[in-house]
Amino acid sequence: MMTRSLVLGCFIAAILSTSALALTINLPVTPADVREHPKEWSVEVTKGEDGLIHFHIKHAVEKRMYHVAHLAVYHQSKLIATSDTPSFTTKGWNRFYFSLSPEDIAESKFDLDENGISGPGDVPEVGGTVYHFRLSDFVPEQLLKSAPGK
- Would you say residue 15 has pLDDT above 70? no
* Segment 116-145 mean pLDDT: 91
- Would you say residue 10 has pLDDT above 50? no
Classify residue 108 by its DSSP letter: -
The mean predicted confidence, pLDDT, of the chain is 87
Phi, psi for residue 101 in degrees, rounded to 5: -70, 140
pLDDT, tens digit (0-9, with 9 covering 90-100), for 33-66: 999 999 999 999 999 999 999 999 999 999 999 9
How far apart are the C-alpha atoms of 94 and 43, rounded to whole Å?
Answer: 12
How far apart are the C-alpha atoms of 117 and 126, rounded to whole Å?
Answer: 9
pTM of the shown model: 0.80
Architecture of the structural domain at 22-145: Sandwich (2.60)
Q: How far is CA 86 from CA 38, 58, 64, 76, 77, in A?
A: 24, 15, 13, 28, 26
Confirm if 89 and 39 have CB atoms less than 8 A apart: no
pLDDT at 144: 81
- Would you say residue 128 has pLDDT above 50? yes
- Would you say residue 3 has pLDDT above 80? no
Nearest-5° angle of CA 80, CA 83, CA 89? 165
